Chain A
Amino acid sequence: MIISQLGYYSLIFGLLTSIFIFFNSSIQLKKNNLVISNKTFGLIGFQFLFVFISFISLIYSFIISDFSNETVYNNSHTTKPLFYKITGTWGNHEGSLLLWLLVLTGVLLGFIFKSSNEPKNYRLLTTLFQQIIVIGFFIFVLKTSNPFNGIFPVQTEGLGLNPILQDPALGIHPPILYLGYVGTSIIFSAALASMISNYVNKSWAKNIKFWILFSWIFLTGGILLGSIWAYYELGWGGFWFWDPVENVSLMPWLSLTALLHCILTLEKRELFKKWTIVLCIITFALSMVGTFLVRSGILNSVHTFANDPSRGIYILTFLLVLVLLSFAIFIIYENKNFTQKSEIFTLSKETAVLINNWFILYFLSVVLIGTIYPIFLDVILDEQISVGPPFYNKLILPFLIPFVLFMSIGPSMKWIKTNFKIGVKSFLVIVFTLILSFITVYYIGEKNMFVLLLFVGFFYLLFKSLEQFREKTKNYAQIFSHTGFSLLLISILLNSFSSKEIVKNIQVGESFTLKNEKIIFKKIAVEKEKNYESIIGFFEVLDEKNKIINLQPEIRIYNEPETATSEASIKTTLFKDRFITINIIKDQNFFNVRYQHKPFMIWIWISTLIIMLGGMFAIFRKNKEVNI
């Protein structure tokens, strides 16, 4: 009870500090001091501290199951394991917005620490813009989503957390994702600040590059965790569904990836200034659009905790204010910043970056339009359509081929001007790519020409990226992320074309076959855990070499709230995952068994980690001068 009060008042103090910082930095902007007063740093520190206290109070209320708090009552239960009591803190609307605030204030603190050599006005203006966002979200939390609302009379037991959210990967998915997703706010604030303080140049690019990489790495990690969770928890072996809630995390990722390539060009060549600023604004706007779509309850998904139109309207209004503000600043300061014109030669790294941005922005527009078009159609014409995988496959796959080809040759381009030589070696790479692609397509038994072309493109990218290891000046950031990306595409393609599955309704003791494997349903057992009961199926798989593989899929019946979930049992090897799930068939002794071969599954996760590793190389090599 007292802890909830502490959390609530800490939030109020946080809001007051924000307003104070806002005016304090505006006053300092007008002064001619060369340094920022220590008071500002102190205030930013305190602001973070207040949000942090409030966040810890909420976690504490969850740990002790304080059911006088409405958020805890709605989302927790005494029988839950400690880990899920803690992760339950952000597994709901109110708590996740508190996490938003924590990251918003945290990245500002980090930014101030990391920018001590930057111009005073640039730092102050960034603080100022970040405060506008922070204040907006403080008011949003306090007004529409207060996590510390009390309930009376005090309840003795809570309503529990949605069982499919009770999972280790999903427990840490929100904080990781938010570091990336909300981290883009500081890029937005810094972009506006750099325009006003006439600082859109190489030094600015160096400074903001860290935050772009930071957001990009965490966003990649957050999406990866979400996919892994979907793979084993949703029970049918897929990892990406082009579901609107997935799309809203992919959109800022795409725009960050484009921005990442632009900022490197700005750093080296002082080019694409206008476009870089636009991308900074777009990226954060997309984060806000995502928050709006998910929080307003327009989309129907596990992420939509409550349907409350007032929340949606608030975020939408706030988003419009921010977009109009940045638009106005862009128009006013446009001529001050972007007068310089430099030449671009056709064959140069600059052109390669432009083409990269052209394609990525196209992919972004496909995802954006595919996600919001159905909403508009529903609102305007009252017609409901579904935009699913066929739409995205048709519009994205054909464009991937030229995209990966440009991506293969882009890194070997030079800045300013490239003289291309086609030697014997590049010819050999092409021949090798073609042979390997033919073998692969033959092996998976696919006769489609288009699939062959996809493989040719993806393998070519892989070999061209690996070839970079032989260069004298190695750019590990680029080599790793590009190699990772090509491996990701190859594994996804192999996975989607050679997955095998069989669905059978069988009883204990019966068996069935898939390819050369025999799957035997041995027995069934019931176990009781603290917060669920589980029905475990024991299966033996005899593979082609007659080796026995044991699989134990479960059906869990959670007590609070009472829900049944199906837990897949997965045996992973380098070349394929064996994936099995069971379901009860009503009023019968039969079980519905779904057994699948998912080839190269683990490579999808590994290649994403390699992509992230590339980003980390880029962060740590920052002091050395290397060609990108």
Chain B
Amino acid sequence: MFMKSKKLLTIKILIIFIFISFNLKSIAMASTFYEEQTINITKNLRCLICQGQTIHESNSDFAESMKKYIKGELENGKTDEEIFSSLVEKYGQWIVYDPGISRNTLLLWALPLLLFLIGGAIIGKRILKKI
């Protein structure tokens, strides 16, 4: 009886221990995950007080506080899109390096592709006419 309970206790402790260590590991993993995610996000954000630097690259006070803020938001369960859109709302489209497709940027994306097609048509006509 006594032996049995001792065994049980050991198993219990073991289970608790495994559970804790597993949890610790997942906490550790989660924290590096948030760090990496923060880097991915801040690489696409302009440091507003610097000259042509991303928030990730910059060490300015603004950039440092933004890094903390974004990591905090990620830990609160916000998604990348939510973070980006809240920042755009606050600071304007200027802060995001990816212009995205919107009414204002449609031509930005379409013009080069259009020129590529026109160029292709001209060259195609010139080459294929002769066959």
User: Which B residue sits closest to A361, measured CB to CB?
Assistant: B119
The count of residues in chain B whose C-beta lies closer than 8 Å to any C-beta of chain A is 36
Do the beta carbons of A390 and B57 come within 8 Å of each other? no
Query: Which parts of B96-122 form the interface with A (CB within 8 Å)?
Result: 96-99, 104-105, 107-109, 111-113, 115-116, 119-120
Contact pick for B51, options A300, A345, A399, CB 8 Å: A300
Complex Cα distance A59/B69, Å? 50
Do the beta carbons of B104 and A236 come within 8 Å of each other? no
User: Which A residue sits closest to B94, measured CB to CB?
Assistant: A384
Supposing A243-B52, A388-B97 touch, asked if A583 and B111 sit within 8 A by C-beta, the answer is no
Q: B44 at interface (Cβ–Cβ under 8 A)?
A: yes
Stretch at the interface among B2-10, B12-20, B123-131: B123-131
How many A-B pairs have beta carbons closer than 8 Å: the answer is 97
Do the beta carbons of A385 and B130 come within 8 Å of each other? no
Contact pick for B96, options A301, A361, A386, CB 8 Å: A386
Taking CB atoms, residues of chain B closer than 8 Å to A238 are 57
Do the beta carbons of A383 and B57 come within 8 Å of each other? no
Do the beta carbons of B51 and A354 come within 8 Å of each other? no
Do the beta carbons of B104 and A381 come within 8 Å of each other? yes
Q: A438 at interface (Cβ–Cβ under 8 A)?
A: no
Taking CB atoms, residues of chain A closer than 8 Å to B116 are 358, 362, 365, 399
Taking CB atoms, residues of chain A closer than 8 Å to B120 are 358
Indicate the size class of the contact surface on chain A: 35 or more
Do the beta carbons of B112 and A241 come within 8 Å of each other? no
Q: B59 at interface (Cβ–Cβ under 8 A)?
A: yes
User: Which B residue sits closest to A584, measured CB to CB?
Assistant: B59
Taking CB atoms, residues of chain B closer than 8 Å to A345 are 130
Complex Cα distance A294/B61, Å? 28
Closest Cβ of chain A to B33, distance in Å, is 15
Q: A389 at interface (Cβ–Cβ under 8 A)?
A: yes
Do the beta carbons of B94 and A385 come within 8 Å of each other? yes
Complex Cα distance A582/B75, Å? 28
Query: Which parts of B79-96 form the interface with A (CB within 8 Å)?
Result: 92-96
Which residues of A approach B to under 8 Å, CB–CB?
A: 234-236, 238, 241, 243, 300-302, 343-346, 351, 354-355, 358, 361-362, 365-366, 369-370, 373, 377, 381, 383-391, 395, 399, 566, 583, 586, 592
| 17 A-B pairs (CB sep. < 8 Å) | A238-B57, A301-B52, A344-B130, A358-B120, A361-B115, A370-B108, A384-B92, A385-B94, A385-B104, A385-B105, A386-B99, A388-B46, A388-B98, A391-B109, A395-B113, A399-B116, A566-B59
Which residues of B approach A to under 8 Å, CB–CB?
A: 44, 46, 51-54, 56-57, 59, 61, 92-99, 104-105, 107-109, 111-113, 115-116, 119-120, 123, 126-128, 130-131
Kindly list 8 other residue pairs between chains A and B, CB separation below 8 angstroms, not including A373-B107, A391-B99: A236-B53, A236-B56, A345-B130, A365-B112, A383-B93, A388-B99, A395-B113, A586-B61
